[in-house]
Chain A
Amino acid sequence: MDIQKLRDEAKRALGRKEIEYLIGYKKGSYGFRISPCFIETKEEVDQLTFSPLCSLSLVNYLTIEGKPLLPADEKKSKAKKVALLVRGCDSRALNQIIAEGGISPDQLYVIGIPCSGVIDLKKIEARFPHTPDPVDVVEENGNYIITINDQSHTVPVDELKAETCKTCQYPTPLTCKKLIGDKRAGNPPQYEDIQILEAQPPEEKWQFWQNQFSRCIRCYACRNSCPLCYCDGCILEKLKPQWVKRSVDTNENFMFHITRAFHLAGRCISCGECERVCPVDIPLMKLNRKMEKDVKELFDFEAGLDPEVKPLLNTFAIEDPEDFIL
């Protein structure tokens, strides 16, 4: 993708008087890290960047605590907007949040970037350990060209790409004002690993998840990085009633992960951010994709495709399956 085009588009967006600031990516301060940036003037536009290292979801910064879009009383009078860069998955997240009424589309100016998939930080850091200086990564012909201290390395895309991006269905943003670059075709969904786990007897499934969840240190990074976990009073922080105790033990971890997975049923947009940020490598996307698969099979519903469609659990159909009901 041409970064100059992105910067030009950002300049044009910031030139509009209703746009207050733009949320984009800039180079991080060390290694393979990328950080979000908030740009208010045209002069700052040159720090904008986009590369396969941009794995974090900028949608989070619209709903994050302490960073309100606009004070409530200013919303109508000034009608200011925030410009935002989105990839395919972010665009679905945005659609879903808009459908839920979490954010108003009038407050947004969305610039879409067709995304070819992002690099899994854990994989690249394992491959190139001890890399303190900022790094350049470009994707070319099925390879990543990684430049570290003026030395370039060529690595096949498949070795570093995040697992979720390999099966991404919607790499092109679905709803955006401006699209930079050409549209990309998505891959068909794949649920083979889910079906294998589904077919196992309950004891083995329990054992599998026990091994996974017993490692959880309850850092809540999965929740914080999730673009769709934006509730003000998160149920996990409630003390009355206290749904999940703060102690880290396997049973509480089970409850935490059941809560998280259930709250994302019919909402998860498969960005894979939860799994990428997990410090103990719990395969959280397995849970999310199981929910996604069920919702697709049972209700023919996919999250975040259309901001006008009501959320799955707010609606019902008379002919919903009820074979388990006595």
Chain B
Amino acid sequence: MSEFEPNIVAFLCNWCSYAGADLTGTTRTHYPPTVKVIRVMCTGRVNPLFVAQVLRTGADGVLISGCHPGECHYMKGNFLARRRFIIMRNLLEFIGIDPQRIRMSWVSASEGKKFADVITEVTEDIKKLGPLQSFKENVNGHPKTEG
């Protein structure tokens, strides 16, 4: 059997992290192909329930990435998001989901290298944790079969 490849969903803010991810591509920096990017206008737009929804519909980890504190295009979106995700992480941890699966990062538009590093680190961490089986959508209490 081949090695476990985690399935990570990344919510990237339009102004910093998405542009940062773009830079990673244009500078041809390599990073693991485990991440599926969803572009949002701001991390403040990411409803914390997205995290739960994403995890139960098949992702093994979630990354939310936005502008550095104080650099938000909308002034305070990332501050508000930070507070929400602290709470959501704690809630999911309390319910029994490893908090390492819910990650957040600040990546600016010029930090292409950092974006690659973040993805590498998150991928490594989630590889260690293994697939998230418990929270996958069930049919009558039984986990769905693969495929």
Give chain A's interface residues, CB within 8 Å of chain B. Answer: 197-198, 202-210, 214, 235, 243, 249-251, 254-255, 258-259, 261-262, 265-266, 287, 290-291, 294-295, 298-299, 312-318, 320-322, 324-326
Contacts and interface: CB of A to CB of B under 8 A. Distances in A.
Contact of B49 (A209, A262, A312, A317): A262
Given A287-B94, A324-B99, A325-B104, A251 B135 contact: yes
Interface majority SS on B: helix, strand, loop or mixed? helix
Nearest to A293: B90
26 contacts: A197-B94, A209-B96, A210-B134, A235-B49, A254-B95, A254-B135, A255-B52, A258-B52, A258-B95, A259-B52, A262-B49, A262-B87, A262-B88, A265-B91, A290-B90, A294-B87, A313-B80, A314-B80, A316-B76, A316-B80, A317-B79, A318-B70, A322-B69, A324-B99, A326-B106, A326-B118
A262 B91 contact: yes
A254 B87 contact: no
Contacts of B134: 206, 210
Top 8 closest A-B pairs, CB basis? A206-B96, A205-B96, A316-B79, A326-B105, A251-B138, A325-B104, A202-B96, A265-B87
A324 B89 CA distance: 10
Contacts of A206: 95-97, 134
Contacts of B93: 202
Contacts, number: 112
A290 B92 CA distance: 11
B53 interface: yes
A92 B98 CA distance: 33
B147 interface: no
Given A208-B96, A258-B49, A312 B103 contact: no
Nearest to B77: A316
A249 B94 contact: no
Contacts of B52: 255, 258-259
Given A243-B49, A316-B79, A266 B87 contact: yes
A320 B87 contact: no
A202 B92 CA distance: 10
Contacts of A290: 90-91, 94
A22 B147 CA distance: 60
Interface in B75-89: 76, 79-80, 82-84, 86-89
B75 to A, nearest CB: 11
A256 B19 CA distance: 35
A95 B51 CA distance: 30
Given A210-B134, A324-B89, 6 more contacts: A214-B141, A243-B49, A258-B92, A290-B90, A317-B79, A326-B105
A191 B92 CA distance: 18
Contacts of B73: none
Contacts of B48: 262
A254 B106 CA distance: 30
B103 A299 contact: no
B124 interface: no
A255 B49 CA distance: 9
Given A205-B94, A208-B96, A316-B76, A251 B87 contact: no
